[in-house]
Amino acid sequence: MSTYASHVVHGPEHGSVRDDVTVTPDAPVRAGARAAATRRQTAFRRVVYLVSILLMAVPLVSLVEYSVRFPLTGAVNLDAWRKIFAGRTNEYTTLDNLWLGLTNSLIMCLITVVIMLVLLLPTMVWVRLSGKKFSRFVEFVCLLPLTIPAVVLVVGLTPIYRVISTQILNSSAIWLSFAYVILVLPFSYRAMDAGLRAIDLKTLVEAARSFGASWLTVLLKVIVPNIKGALVSASFLSCAVVLGEFTLARLLAKDNLQTALFVINLSDSQVAAAMSFLALALTTILLVVMDLIMNRAPKAPKKLDASKTYRAPKKRIKDTTR
Amino acid sequence: MTTVPTSVGRADAARPTGRGAGGRPPAAATSVSSRTWVRALSRDAGILPFFAYTGIFLLLPTILVIIGAFTARDGGFSLDGIHQALNARTAKIFWTTTWLAAVTAIVGAVVGSVIAYALSTAPQGSVSRRVITAFNSVLAQFGGVMLAFAFIAMLGTNGMITRLLHSLFSVDVPSNLLSSMAGIVLVYIYFQIPLMVIVFVPAVDGLRSEWRETTMSFGGTTRTFWLSVAGPILAPRFLGALLLLFANAFSAFATAAALISQQTIIVPMAIESAIRNENNTNMTAYAQVLALGMILVIAVIMALYAALQRKTARWEQ
């Protein structure tokens, strides 16, 4: 399947070269012109590719360089990195804020992912099983946070969090997770939607139910294992959102990783640069791993359901004309 | 799914019984309808947790903003907040934000679509493609503050590029570049292009080699292919992405906040300074009016986007 996909989807480069050889019953002169055009295009693409990689690398390299080069004298030292890898010690108390923010952010990753999964998975499964009635509505609501600016949300969340921190819970930063669940909805919705689309949910559920499985069993033992890749991907994306979140925390005056970076930049900008590099690089790795998991996932149900393989080409044509 | 036929069947069964009793058909009818209503509710109960959660943390905040913008300090309806906000300063901040979003969206969309095309020519499973896509989504969606720091490390007074330009070409980067409008545009472009790349790669991935082959075998050139085949196919997706980029830049806050601390130049920063000013309760109302203004702008963008989607759908039929 994956090789099939890469042939169809990435036709322009690999396909055209190969097709020039195989599918050219007409004029050989034109084939020569076509080959020249293909060469020009390949060159163009390579240049664009290289330039964009270079432009993307520059900020990262600059961050690393900045973190090891003392701004006033230009002397190179690894103090910033030493401070970070020393962890939370009494030696560098100036970084306490950073560790607090990082701890908060990691805890919030966990809470956000748990609430997101508990809220979204049953809802999405239920919507699919109960007909089309609410599917548009759920999709609309889930994608809404992409368009409603976080800074607008925060204006309305201020009174809500005033109630939460004084009357229901406390003023701890970790309760920001409730609002973060909203921010991660678009990303996790898309990931889970792709996962659920790839399996024959109705048949799976009906089969399990007819064997007497309870709804909880169906959810945990039948659906979850089948869309594991999508769930992992939804969780990773949620973590990426939470680790990078700044607006809500800043405006609601809570400490998380980004607000801590913001503050530490004023006193120790080298540590902020080193930490930014780490966060950017780790989040990127997180997403690459997610991509690998996600692309491996669809193979499992395909083995079970041969009809999917046959339906695949039709679907792709539909996708391309959209 | 299984509950639907059951409930319908029972309602049908109940109706003849009611008529058969003959005594009080209206009462029977109401009891049936109320029962079906309860059943309909329990049938739809699966949506309730989701509805409740998004109601509290998404719908309620939005409603609070809208109500707040029209509420006086004593709680009554008033347009005072709106009137107070309608001044030259607010207008200027909105105008700056709008053109900043528009300029960076256009540049981002044009450059991003070219990169997206180049990226789509790399094999899907290739390491470079995976890493670039992942890094792009980090830059575009999760890295506001960190991107700002990267720019300080690049183009700040002691930045790597600043020093390089100085030593190689004796060009001096203005020391206030990153807190000026030009600097902000530059930094915004650095997250707009990646966003365009991740949004647009699926669209260019959909271009099929057969289409190009067909164009070529009918004597078309690369130019014809792009102008008459790929262009019209990609145009709606491009415009849609452009609107998305506009909305993205319009609501961005983190990057600008990390670069500029002295002035408020864009709407989100004005909202921040209004919220953080706790001495003056009037300022909360001002923040709500500004937020309402943002909602209106975003609503216009969403309406345009929806119209575009409808038109595309009709065109494709």
Residues of B in contact with A204 (CB under 8 A): none
Q: How long, in residues, is chain A?
A: 322
At B160-171, the pLDDT tens digits run 888 888 888 877
- Chain B window 231-260: which residues touch A at a Cβ cutoff of 8 Å? 233, 237, 244, 247, 250-251, 253-254, 257-258
- Predicted pLDDT of residue A313: 43
Residues of B in contact with A69 (CB under 8 A): 158
Mean pLDDT of B139-149: 84
- Give dist(CA B2, CA B138) in Å, integer: 43
Q: Does A25 touch chain B (CB under 8 A)?
A: no
Asked if B242 and B304 count as a contact pair (C-beta separation under 8 A), the reply is no
Q: Where are the alpha helices (DSSP H) in chain A?
A: 2-9, 16-22, 28-68, 79-86, 96-129, 135-147, 150-163, 177-197, 201-210, 215-217, 224-226, 228-244, 247-251, 257-267, 269-296, 299-304, 306-321
- Helix, strand, or coil (residue A219): helix
Quote the percentage of chain A above a pLDDT of 70: 80
- Give dist(CA A58, CA A54) in Å, integer: 6
Mean pLDDT of B17-25: 41
Q: Does B276 touch chain A (CB under 8 A)?
A: yes
DSSP A253: T
- State which residue of chain B sits closest to A16, comparing Cα positions: B209
- CB nearest to B62's CB, from A67, A127, A148: A148
Q: Does B205 touch chain A (CB under 8 A)?
A: yes
State pTM to two decimals. 0.78
Asked if B107 and A209 count as a contact pair (C-beta separation under 8 A), the reply is no
At A22-49, the pLDDT tens digits run 444 455 556 676 677 777 778 888 888 8
Note whether B57 contacts A181, CB cutoff 8 Å: yes
Task: Characterize B61-85 residue by residue with b for buried, 16 or more Cβ atoms within 10 angstroms of its Cβ, and e for exposed.
Answer: bbebbbebbbbeeeeeeeeebeeeb
Note whether B58 contacts A148, CB cutoff 8 Å: yes
Mean pLDDT of A134-162: 88
- Predicted pLDDT of residue B85: 77
End-to-end Cα separation, chain B, in angstroms:
31
How crowded is residue B153: how many other Cβ atoms within 10 Å of its Cβ?
A: 31
Residue showing tokens 């309602």: B11
Task: Choose the weakest-confidence range: A179-188, B11-20, B158-167.
Answer: B11-20
Beta bridge partners of residue B77, listed in sequence order: B71
Task: Choose the weakest-confidence range: A7-16, A65-74, B119-128.
Answer: A7-16
| Confidence bin at B8 (pLDDT 50/70/90) | very low
Note whether A149 contacts B253, CB cutoff 8 Å: yes
Higher confidence at residue A228 or residue B77?
A: A228
The answer to whether residue B281 scores a pLDDT higher than 70 is no
The answer to whether residue A21 scores a pLDDT higher than 60 is no
- CB nearest to A247's CB, from B119, B133, B253: B253
Residues of B in contact with A126 (CB under 8 A): 46-47
Asked if B265 and B222 count as a contact pair (C-beta separation under 8 A), the reply is no
At B208-243, the pLDDT tens digits run 777 777 777 777 777 777 777 777 778 888 998 999
- Predicted pLDDT of residue A18: 41
Mean pLDDT of B279-284: 67
Task: Choose the weakest-confidence range: A50-64, A173-187, B26-40, B259-273.
Answer: B26-40
- Chain A window 78-117: which residues touch B at a Cβ cutoff of 8 Å? none
Task: Choose the weakest-confidence range: A5-14, A108-117, A148-157, B198-207.
Answer: A5-14
Note whether A151 contacts B253, CB cutoff 8 Å: yes
Q: Residue B60: what residue type?
A: L
Element (H, E) at B184: helix B181-205
- CB nearest to A156's CB, from B1, B61, B205: B61
- Give dist(CA A254, CA A262) in Å, integer: 12
DSSP B23: S
Burial class for A202, CB neighbours closer than 10 Å (0-12, 13-18, 19+): exposed
- CB nearest to A59's CB, from B151, B209, B271: B151
Q: Which two tokens stand for residue A239?
A: 């973590």
Residues of A in contact with B43 (CB under 8 A): 130
- Give dist(CA B52, CA B44) in Å, integer: 13
Residues of A in contact with B218 (CB under 8 A): none
Mean pLDDT of A204-212: 88
The CA angle B17-B20-B21, to the nearest 5 degrees, is 90
- State the fold for domain A95-294: MetI-like fold (1.10.3720)
Note whether A48 contacts B114, CB cutoff 8 Å: yes
Beta bridge partners of residue B71, listed in sequence order: B77
- Predicted pLDDT of residue A307: 45
Burial class for B98, CB neighbours closer than 10 Å (0-12, 13-18, 19+): middle
- State which residue of chain B sits closest to A203, comparing Cα positions: B1
Q: Does A9 touch chain B (CB under 8 A)?
A: yes
| Confidence bin at A19 (pLDDT 50/70/90) | very low
Q: Does A169 touch chain B (CB under 8 A)?
A: no
Distance from A305 to chain B by nearest Cα, in Å? 22
Task: Choose the weakest-confidence range: A20-34, A143-157, A198-212.
Answer: A20-34
Enumerate the domain spans of chain A.
Answer: 31-77, 95-294
- Chain B window 97-116: which residues touch A at a Cβ cutoff of 8 Å? 114-115
Q: Between A and B, how many residue pairs show a Cβ–Cβ distance under 8 A? A: 306
Distance from B131 to chain A by nearest Cα, in Å? 6
- Give dist(CA A48, CA A120) in Å, integer: 40
- Predicted pLDDT of residue A246: 92
- CB nearest to B153's CB, from A62, A202, A247: A62
Q: Residue A97: what residue type?
A: N
- Helix, strand, or coil (residue B71): strand
Q: Does A269 touch chain B (CB under 8 A)?
A: yes
Q: What is the ipTM of this complex?
A: 0.77
Mean pLDDT of A155-181: 87
Asked if B312 and B236 count as a contact pair (C-beta separation under 8 A), the reply is yes
Residues of B in contact with A148 (CB under 8 A): 58, 62, 295, 298
Note whether A12 contacts B124, CB cutoff 8 Å: no
- State which residue of chain B sits closest to A175, comparing Cα positions: B57
| Confidence bin at B44 (pLDDT 50/70/90) | confident
